[in-house]
Amino acid sequence: MLIKRGGGFTSSEITDHRLYLGRRAFMAGAAALVLAPGGAPAAAPPAGQALTAQRNAALSLSEPPTTVESATTYNNFYEFGVNKEDPARLAGSLRPRPWSVQMDGLVAKPQRLDIEEILRLAPLEERVYALRCVEGWSMVIPWIGYPLAALLKRVEPTSQARFVELTTLLDPEQFPGQRKGLFNLGSLDWPYVEGLRLDEAMHPLTLLTVGMYGQVLPNQNGAPVRVVIPWKYGFKSAKSIVRIRLVAEQPKTAWEKAAPQEYGFYSNVNPAVDHPRWSQATERRIGEFRRRKTLPFNGHADQVASLYSGMDLKKQY
């Protein structure tokens, strides 16, 4: 994986805007056919609103993006279900407006920010990052957002703050996967909680993400706000965030509680450390036939390896 240091994609390398909107309209129409609790038709997510963002070429991959269809219909988002097609199929139940994010914990200026305030807080950038799944597949997506650090600096973490806890919306009416006994996910302790060390959260690569492919985030991809941490496995990138809390102790994350032998707190992409059920040595880009070698830290070793100096990454996985 190469980090492109100069120039961006040509316009021909990105899906045509009108074609994209047509595909979104098709998917929205399909979502409208899903039945909500009680048998009533679920409301379809609205067509994507355009987001203007400046391409950050220095932090973007040089690879062409995964197709919009794949990126929006093949997802892990367990709040909607365990199957890859469940998020797109059931996304109409999520209501991304109105929305706010509570910022609290060990901060000098706790506050609740409306999603519109979050959108205006810092200049939006487009960054082409690969998202690597622990199951062995990956995608390349043009994400839109700005460094999470900009949001964290606004609330002024205190000297006691060492970790950042990220919490997803808890609402079984909007997230059918949170309903008791449904989809065999009783082992997950809702709401979904993820965490980062403060220096990881403040790293320039950690993206507070509000859009993709030139549009606001689709429901099935974590609307209206998520994070993307490109050197970690995809489940670390919490979606539909409602709370960001600064804490002194390492947060206990959802998958750590459910299966600590499989999902560690750090979850850095590491070809030398296999998941108990899947090798991490190779991966398959969605849309490609041949597998490719997995790169340490998902290709970002030159930027983030120093964060883990002196750590045993086989034990602290």
The rounded percent of the chain whose pLDDT value lies above 70 is 83
Mean pLDDT of the chain: 86
- In order of their start, the domains of the chain are 3-308 (3.90.420.10)
23, pLDDT greater than 50: no
The pTM of this model reads 0.85
Using pLDDT thresholds of 50, 70 and 90, give the confidence band for residue 188.
confident
pLDDT in tens, 257-316: 999 989 999 999 999 999 999 999 999 999 999 999 999 999 999 999 999 999 999 889
| The pLDDT of residue 48 | 75
CA distances from 312 to 235, 265, 273, 297 (A): 21, 13, 11, 14
CA distances from 132 to 9, 208, 235, 237 (A): 21, 17, 9, 11
As a whole number of angstroms, the distance between CA 248 and CA 254 comes to 18
| H or E element in which residue 105 lies | strand 100-105
pLDDT in tens, 203-226: 999 999 999 999 999 999 999 999
Collapsed DSSP state (helix, strand, coil) of residue 307: helix
What does the DSSP assignment read for 157-178? B-TT--EEEEEE---TTT-GGG
Using pLDDT thresholds of 50, 70 and 90, give the confidence band for residue 58.
very high
Instruction: Specify whether the CB–CB gap between 132 and 294 falls below 8 A.
Output: yes
